Structure 1
């Protein structure tokens, strides 16, 4: 299986995905994601201030957040709330998974936080405590949402009323998300602060994986004790900070094996995975293949 990650634009040290195409005049962006052997089958941990509203047209896509892991097969969709740390991975590899996404600031729907519209239909979604809304199943409101979602992706950008029709569809989806079917839940006490600390530590690892770093360095990045660092990783990422660091290094190493001609020694050095012999053992343990076999498999 190709484990190449799809690249996105991140702000260094924060892990925030940047959307330079989104403007104040039109705070919206359409994106079509192709998860396949050429582009890759996963997008690593990131977050963004915008809402992400998506529909799966082919394959299966898995979303992971600190709250859990969710699968979305073709014909379903979801809404990733603003500021939620998440990663995605195709559940359909080596076959293709296709995803259509609306990425937008809620200002696109309503920029007056004192208005009745914002307080009745926008704010309840943003403050619901729900990390990802799931649009799958046969309930009436879910069917309506999926219908609006599909229609919104088939609008013609060249139509005179395109922006108005798009906003109308997104407004209706937000309004339907406030129905009793999608029950808000109490946010985990202190989750906002914990989420910020977790983001800081995870992206410290992603920025510094090639360096010799210890758990104490990861904890210091968020001004936390090692004990609190361990607790946050175990609770929300379901692994230790040391294992997370190792996994990040291995993912980069596998990408280099598949997509560069660097020697095994150079890859091991750049990913801080020790001597080439130890590196070979780790790749074998991770993939069931030697580095040579892995490179050959992903070049064929």
Structure 2
């Protein structure tokens, strides 16, 4: 176990997000001056580049069209993404895309898209002073009340509660 003193309930990253040590770290991080945060980010990127350089490639998807779909989602995370557009872009039928996506990743394309949008929203909540409505629009959701419901369903807090708990 990497940090046994933290007594994390599991190796699950979601469980780590709710652990008090994580909240304590984030509070300290937010107290840092801008230049200190930039230095910290730089050091992390240097470490990450070392791991990327020496990493061994993971087995790729058999279907390169699925990789195209994942890339399209990542590149368009700030827009409304339809399953039909994803399927058309990858030259697949909608039903084949949904079936293959679920078999390969274990979730539907829509669940994956929403998960990625909420991840991006978490970054915006902590790294900007954008309003909740602006963040909803920045992740391609015009209905901010739907965004808030989806955020709470995935994270367990509303975006405002999340920001308040982590930034203070």
Note whether the superposition's TM-score is higher than 0.5: yes
**Aligned CA distance change for structure 1 residues 103 and 91 (closer, same or farther; 3 Å):** farther
Pick aligned residue for 1:284 from 152, 163, 167? 152
Pick aligned residue for 1:256 from 124, 143, 152? 124
Pick aligned residue for 2:143 from 275, 284, 289? 275
Pick aligned residue for 1:103 from 53, 62, 72? 53
**Aligned CA distance change for structure 1 residues 257 and 221 (closer, same or farther; 3 Å):** same
Q: Which TM-score applies when normalising by structure 2?
A: 0.65
In structure 2, the partner of 1:298 is 166
The structure richer in helix per residue is 2
Q: CA RMSD in A?
A: 3.3
**Aligned CA distance change for structure 1 residues 283 and 90 (closer, same or farther; 3 Å):** closer
In structure 2, the partner of 1:172 is none
Pick aligned residue for 1:232 from 81, 85, 100? 100
In structure 1, the partner of 2:91 is 223
Aligned counterparts of 2:106 and 2:151: Cα–Cα separation in 1: 22
The structure richer in strand per residue is 1
Larger radius of gyration: 1
**Helix, strand or coil at the partner of 1:210:** coil
In structure 2, the partner of 1:148 is none
In structure 1, the partner of 2:40 is none
1:206 partnered with 2:156: no
C-alpha contact 2:98 2:109 (8 A) present in aligned 1:
yes
How many corresponding residue pairs?
134
Aligned counterparts of 1:281 and 1:90: Cα–Cα separation in 2: 18
Kindly report structure 1 stretches of 4+ aligned residues shifted beyond 4 Å.
88-96
**Helix, strand or coil at the partner of 1:58:** coil
The runs of 5 or more residues in structure 2 that have no matched partner are 5-10, 23-46
